[in-house]
Structure 1
Amino acid sequence: MGLTSLDDLFKSEQERQQDTNERILNIPIGEIYPYARQPYSIKRPTPDLVRLMDSIEQVGVAEPLIVRPRTEGGYEIISGHRRDYCARTVGLESLPVIVREYTDDEADILVVDYNITREDLLPSEKARAYSLKLEAMKRQGERTDLTSLQVGEKLKGKTSVSVLAEQVNDNVTTIQRYIRLTKLIPPLLEQVDNGGLKVTPAADYISHLSEKEQAALLVIMERDEVSPSLGQAKRLKELSEEGKLDSNVMEVLLREDKSLARKVTLKNDRLQKYFPPSYTPKQMEEVIIRLLEQWQRKKLREQER
């Protein structure tokens, strides 16, 4: 007896009945398009994506995509963007699909729901997904004020952001914080994804700066290899609101309470010409340290003369 998939466990009785009445069609891959507002990074290499691509290369696409018709022709993916990407990469010419009719709001919500529980989501992906779904809920007449829970329309006595928090097993504050990240300029949001800027200072304070101020902050962060602490980020927001924030003020503020330790980054392309191709980064580091120690001893001897 086959095991029930997780998707099937959470389907409504109507969806299960719908599945039994639907036919799986094989559609030419050229007639299938990604969802225009899809919030997730499809091509980001993850172990899960590698396994999926290996599986599709060996046995094809086992689970049909969910698509909806496009007014301009062809079909738009609701569920299955990564399957579509892997299939194109390995050279498949058609894909199994189930065609369903969805409104834009229904499609926005479903596109988010199909992947929101993935453990490898980046902060930027969660930010776009939560924002997309709450906007759809707003258009459906549900409450979506992201900064206050005191007034507004309710859904069975709950705000829509509270309902979303229950659905994704997260808390309201965290969801509101992720949505604030969508106010960051793309390079700063990328800094959040790679860990160079923490989520809380980025969302609670940096996201309130103007685009010009954010761009100036990014220049200083990259040049000096610094990142604002929670307290510094709060102060940046306060100075911005007072109209007193510029690049000079940022530089002074970001130097406060910082260790005097310096960080030096050596680019690989500059180092390669000095080492055999077989050298590992660890071996290269050991050689550099030995040379620096020799240099230091030489400098000390010169000072003693």
Structure 2
Amino acid sequence: MSEDKGRQRLGRGLASLIGGSASSAVPSRAATPFPLPGAARVEEPGERKLAVSELSPNPRNPRRHFDETDLAELTASIRQHGVVQPILVRKTASGAFEIVAGERRWRAAQEAGLKQVPVVVREISDRESLEIAIIENVQRADLDPIEEAMGYQMLIDEHEYTQSDLADILGKSRSHVANTLRLLKLPDSVKEMVAKGELSAGAARTAVSQDDPEAFARQIVDGGLSVREAETLARGEPLPEPAPPRGSAQKRRTPPAPPSVAEVRESDTQALEKLLSDTLGLPVAIELRGEGGSLRLDFRHLDQLDHLCRLLQTRVSAESAEPRIRSL
């Protein structure tokens, strides 16, 4: 399959199934729990309600771990507001309803004691179900790095995606995709360290080229080394000699170096995206370019745009003017 055909499939396949642009086809986690302040729930086209017991999870969902704290927070929100974003499902050959996107909401709804949940039923093939499941989870940025890498590799192996395709559809840089895929070269023992959060993805990548990646990774974890220190060690250079503490002859290791400006900036950007998404109830993407950049808000139908306009107008004027979106 050529790259052009891959891009064409990406651009139209997901959009036709869920609506909106391909990059915003699946809502982010931050956009799902909370409605806009004072906004009535707007039903999606083709939406219906099904008993939670009628739904089953996607067996090929790349996400294997659901954080208990995050799930508890979503459960509390659903208990108060209900399921704001309907769950995308498909009907299988056996007549069952399989979740394509929204397994986390389904799990939280069960914990909240809901008997029924809103769903949108679409005709979706096995291939499309896999694509949506992977992209939906990766866009939320709460997969562990190994799950994310495995999701990328599944799309490459089974549907001939290129790294450029993945970067475009996920809104990631190509270097991020390439660096994430490198984690799959690690032995299973090191992958488990990353999945458990014992070893950061950045530090794990320095172990890929080592003769004994497991021993090198264990040295990083046991020594509490930062990514910068791990990179120094990987180059075969000596680590700075730690200074002894005051009033003691014993030496202690130099505290880990502070994160780089780029790392801090990326973390701050992700936090700001989540804050804006929680506030507006829409997926938000921020792209920084030097001291400037761009802010993108994705909406799937004009009702969401109307709500956004009302929210913005009430901030700048004591009198709320009715948006004229539909007349544009």
* TM-score, normalisation: structure 1: 0.54
1:103 aligns with 2:104: no
Q: Which has the larger radius of gyration?
A: 1
Per-residue CA distance 1:182-210 (angstroms, 9 max, x = gap) = 3334552353356653434523642776x
**Identical-pair percentage:** 28
Q: Quickly say closer, same or farther: Cα 1:90–1:25, change in 2 above 3 A.
A: closer
Residue 114 of structure 1 deviates from its aligned partner by: 2.3
Opposite residue 105 of structure 1, the aligned amino acid is: R
Q: State whether residues 183 and 191 of structure 2, in contact with CA within 8 Å, keep that contact through their aligned partners in structure 1.
A: yes
Per-residue CA distance 1:33-74 (angstroms, 9 max, x = gap) = 221221235521455x44421221124323321112334552
Structure with greater helix share of residues: 1
Q: Quickly say closer, same or farther: Cα 1:23–1:121, change in 2 above 3 A.
A: closer
Q: State whether residues 65 and 77 of structure 1, in contact with CA within 8 Å, keep that contact through their aligned partners in structure 2.
A: yes
Q: Quickly say closer, same or farther: Cα 1:37–1:207, change in 2 above 3 A.
A: farther
Q: Match of 2:136?
A: 114
Q: Quickly say closer, same or farther: Cα 1:97–1:195, change in 2 above 3 A.
A: closer
RMSD across aligned positions (CA): 3.6
Which one of 139, 150, 163 corresponds to residue 128 of structure 1?
A: 150
Q: State whether residues 76 and 112 of structure 2, in contact with CA within 8 Å, keep that contact through their aligned partners in structure 1.
A: no
* TM-score, normalisation: structure 2: 0.51
Opposite residue 257 of structure 1, the aligned amino acid is: L
Counterparts in 2 of 1:141-156, with a 5 A limit? 142=161
Q: Quickly say closer, same or farther: Cα 1:229–1:23, change in 2 above 3 A.
A: closer
Opposite residue 184 of structure 1, the aligned amino acid is: L
Which one of 74, 93, 108 corresponds to residue 96 of structure 2?
A: 74
Q: Which has the higher contact order (CA 8 A, sep 6+)?
A: 2
Q: Quickly say closer, same or farther: Cα 1:131–1:208, change in 2 above 3 A.
A: farther
Number of matched pairs: 206
Counterparts in 2 of 1:1-305, with a 5 A limit? 9-10=20-21, 20=45, 22-26=46-50, 28-40=51-63, 43-45=66-68, 49-71=71-93, 74-138=96-160, 142=161, 160-192=162-194, 196-203=198-205, 205-206=207-208, 213-217=212-216, 224-225=222-223, 227=225, 229-233=230-234, 257=239, 259=241, 261-262=251-252
Q: Quickly say closer, same or farther: Cα 1:24–1:186, change in 2 above 3 A.
A: farther
C-alpha distance in 1 between matches for 2:202 and 2:136: 26
Opposite residue 10 of structure 1, the aligned amino acid is: S
Q: Which runs of 5+ in 1 are unaligned?
A: 1-6, 143-159, 236-252, 264-305
